[in-house]
Amino acid sequence: MLAIASCVTSSPAFEAQGFPSERLFTMAEETLHECRNECRIDIVQSLILLSLRQTGCGDKQSASTYAGRACCMVLNMGLNLSPSGMGGNESEDLVEKELRSRVYWNTYVLDKTLSEESGRPFLLTYKRTTTPLPSTDELEEYETWPPPTLTASAPGRRAVHITPRRGYVMSCFAWTCRMAMIVEEILNLETVHPPVSNAWDTMFYERTPDLDADLVSNHLEQWRQTLPPTLVINATSTASPLPHHAVGMAVSTYVAIVG
């Protein structure tokens, strides 16, 4: 709760009203420090939130530190590996598996995002992951955007001109995860190694890479072509943008640059 509160109140609008964002952030840090020897899903979620909060504040170094801790914790917990059987109630198992999947893949996407932005090595790789992507058949997939509460509380003019429609939130997230896998491939194209000392070093370091730029470019183009029509962004549309609009626009720019 402290992590969520520190994120929500870090915007200028809340700060102008005197909300103690920094105090909440400090309290969240202190609470995490008390749990430093524990590995729990809620701690991973808190680390992700604090990383996003620090990114929004422009502190990428701190954001990378929190993200790195989250990555290490999901690996320690084995969230990158699909459990063969949870040994409990089947419905509870499905809920637990979905929770594990969402937490892991959120951490994965954050890891790639910060690696791309900061230049630090990423820690999670899809080639060492057997956890399936989050389900697109969950309730969030069918919820409308804007949410009914937002529309009801908004000024009359805004409510009239924004027509709620299906948000496709989970589909957007699943395809964002797939995009993060391609980002991983792009980052892997740039390799470095220790100084060469002998002929063996030369032979070992200069091995043919598993991927080349053309293949990665093809993967990117195939991603765009396979994207469900509901997630394709129409920049000329006058309809209210969906939650995935910013992601779609960013991907379009990414395809134009890399492709």
Report CA-CA distances (Å) from 199 to 58, 127, 220. 45, 30, 36
**Does 127 map to a domain?**
no
The predicted pLDDT at position 153 comes to 47
Residue 93 lies in a domain: yes
Question: For 4-18, 63-77, 180-194, 216-230, which range has the lowest pLDDT when averaged over its residues?
Answer: 4-18
Domain assignment of residue 118, yes or no: no
What would the pLDDT profile of 48-57 be if each residue is shown by its tens digit? 988 988 888 8
**Overall domain count for the chain:** 2
Q: Are 231 and 172 in contact (CB under 8 A)?
A: yes
Residue 121 domain flag: no
Residue 128 pLDDT more than 90? yes
Asked whether residue 259 falls in the same domain as residue 192, the answer is yes
Q: Are 89 and 192 contained in the same domain?
A: no
Q: Are 141 and 123 in contact (CB under 8 A)?
A: no
Quick one: what percent of the chain has pLDDT higher than 70? 71
Domain boundary among 97, 121, 148: 97
Q: Does residue 144 sit in helix, strand or coil?
A: strand
Same domain, 89 and 166: no
In a domain, 233, yes or no: yes
Q: How confident is the model at residue 179 (pLDDT cuts 50, 70, 90)?
A: very high
Q: Is the pLDDT of residue 8 over 70?
A: no
- State whether 52 and 141 are in the same domain: no
Range of the domain at 74: 1-97
- If asked whether residues 93 and 140 sit together in one domain, one would say no
Residues 89-105: pLDDT tens digits? 566 688 899 999 999 99
